[in-house]
Amino acid sequence: MSKLRCHISISLDGYVAGPNQSEENPLGEGGESLHDWVVPLAAFREAHGGEGGEANPSTSVFEEANANIGAAIMGRNMFGPIGGGAWDEQWKGWWGDEPPYHYPVFIVTHHPRESVQMKGGTTYHFVTDGIESALDQAKKAAGDKDVMLWGGGDIARQYLAAGLLDELELHVVPILLGGGSRLLDNTNVRLEQIRAVEAPGVAHLKYRIVP
C-alpha cells in the first residue's frame, strides 16, 4: 500500500529550521548548515541538474529516500517565500523550469490557484481544503508508489501529529540551533526504529510510525 514518507534534516536539539526565518533566510539563522551533509553528494547534484560531487554512506540513504515516489506534498512556505497573501502567478517555485521532482506536487495553502505544469513531469497542484484532502489526492496520483512529504517543518509536524505519516527519516546534524521550528513538539505517536546509518557529519535515523 502507498505510504506517506518524510525525510528531513534536523539539528541535534530538534530544530528543522533556525530562529528568525525570513525571505532571505528561509531556513532561519544557522539553518543552512542543516544541508551541509547533502549538498556535496554527487547524487544530490545530479538530481538538481548539477555535476561533480562525492559518494559516501549518505548516498544510498539519499537515493533510497527519493526512490519509488509517485507524488509529493509540500507546505506553501516551502514552495515560495510569499507570506500570507494571495499568489503571485509569476512564482513557480524555487526549482526552475524543470524541477527535480518529475511527479505531481500538491501544495497545501489557503489561497486557490490553477495547477501549473512544468517541464519534466512535475505539476504543481494547489490544495485549499486541508492536509487530509492533499494526502488523498497525492495517493491517487501516486498509484502504487509512495507519497513524499517534503516539508517544511510546520506541515510535517501537522501530518505527524494527525497520525497520517507512515515513515519518518531524520538526518541528525551535529549542530545546536538553539531556537526555531521544532519538528517533534506536541506530537504523540508511537515510533519503531527501522535503522540508523552513520555518515560523514550526519546520522540517518529512520522510524516507522506505529498505527
Task: Note the residues at the interface with a copy of itself (CB under 8 A).
Answer: 12-14, 170, 172, 174-176, 178, 184-189, 191-193, 195-198, 201-203, 205, 207
**CB count in 10 Å sphere of residue 94:** 11
CA distance linking residue 5 with residue 69, whole number of Å: 9
Distance between CA atoms of residues 57 and 174, nearest Å: 17
Q: Which is nearer to a copy of itself, 46 or 54 (CB)?
A: 54
Identity of the residue, 42 or 189, whose beta carbon is nearer to a copy of itself in the bound complex = 189
* Contacts with 107 (C-beta within 8 Å, 6 or more apart), sequence order: 73, 74, 75, 76, 79, 124, 125, 126, 127
Residue closer to a copy of itself by CB (options 86, 176) is 176
CB nearer to a copy of itself: give 125 or 171.
171
Return the C-alpha cell found at 207.
522510524
Q: Give the three-state DSSP class for 118.
A: coil
Given the complex with a copy of itself, which of 87 and 207 has the nearer CB atom? 207
H or E segment at 134?
Answer: helix 131-142
Q: Please report how close the Cβ of residue 209 comes to a copy of itself at its closest, in angstroms.
A: 10
Query: Least distance in Å: CB of 158 to a copy of itself?
Result: 15
Nearest approach, Cβ of residue 68 and a copy of itself (Å)? 22
**Angstrom distances, CA of residue 52 to CA of 32, 49, 59:** 21, 10, 13
Closest CB 13 distance from a copy of itself, rounded Å = 4
Nearest approach, Cβ of residue 164 and a copy of itself (Å): 16
Coil, strand or helix at 164: coil
Query: Is the peptide bond preceding residue 70 cis, with omega within 30 degrees of 0?
Result: no
Tell the smallest beta-carbon distance from residue 180 to a copy of itself (Å). 13
